[in-house]
Amino acid sequence: MMNRNGVSSSSQAHNASMLAVHDYLPPDSLRLSGQYQKQVINVSPRTMGNLNLAAQTQDEVVRRMPHGAGNQWLSVVGSKGESYLRAHLAREDKKAMRDALRTQVPNMDRTYASARTAATLQGGNCQEFSDLAYTLLAGRGSSAPISSAMYRNDHVLTMIGDPRESNKVAMVDAWQHIPVATLLSNTSLNPNDLVVKKQYNSRQGDPDAQYALSNITPLPRNVIEERMAKQGFYGVGTALVQDLAEGLKEQKQLLYDVRTLAADPSQRYNDGQVVKSFDSMRSDQMTKKIESMNQYSQLASRQPALFAPSKTL
């Protein structure tokens, strides 16, 4: 069966171990115009390495942040509000976490401390998702520059490669609903509006970054709910989602609906050895993504004044 977004909810997603987004989700379901082109772009082995590293890092961030972003409608609806609660506490706990880390490492980087907070709370918005990606990469080390960048003073993401070369720099952004590793040149972002805030340049991993992400025990849902109940929030569930939507409307605030940064997820890259795209996803993850898209679509249809308004980048 196809829903109103043209997304199949059949058992196909359960039967395949890996699925390519461009083979399974129609462009309009990702808010993309036109058709997938499946264009092959020739890249250097170095650029292919950047893309592989970007994809691996996004996968690790998704693993550590399984509930999604606190300010993305699809994550909030799909997690029944849990992503919002966790992001709220991640913002609250950031300073305390940084102070605690600095008792052990006096010069602990603020980004690394933010990453530990995000991984512990399993929550955050684009800042925390980017901080976690940046810290993972800094802890690993890279032959290419690792940059944390601000886009139009509204969005934070991480890049691998020289930011001045849009056809060579790989984007790392697990905050998007469908995380597709891609080159800056294959996004709708204007490179002139990206401002690099910090950069890591070393093949050697930073011990402080490694320390910041070591021995982390994520907070369980019951602890999150207990803390947020003291602030007047419902527990995870449909009542919480409804209450959040009503509160956002009253406060004239909007959540994001950013499905993917890739202008064409089907774009493939050829380094002379292999040709590949970077939009593959485990079938269970694909199923979860589709379910949240369908749930949000239904809410936006039933209560358009509450759920339909959203913003993009």
pLDDT tens-digit series, residues 233-265: 999 999 999 999 999 999 999 999 999 999 999
Q: What pLDDT score does 167 carry?
A: 87
Tell me what percent of the residues of the chain surpass a pLDDT of 70: 95
pLDDT, mean over the chain: 94
Q: What pLDDT score does 113 carry?
A: 97
Q: Is 1 exposed, middle or buried (0-12, 13-18, 19+ CB in 10 A)?
A: exposed
Q: How confident is the model at residue 163 (pLDDT cuts 50, 70, 90)?
A: confident
The mean pLDDT of 287-312, rounded to a whole number, is: 97
State the pTM of this model.
0.93
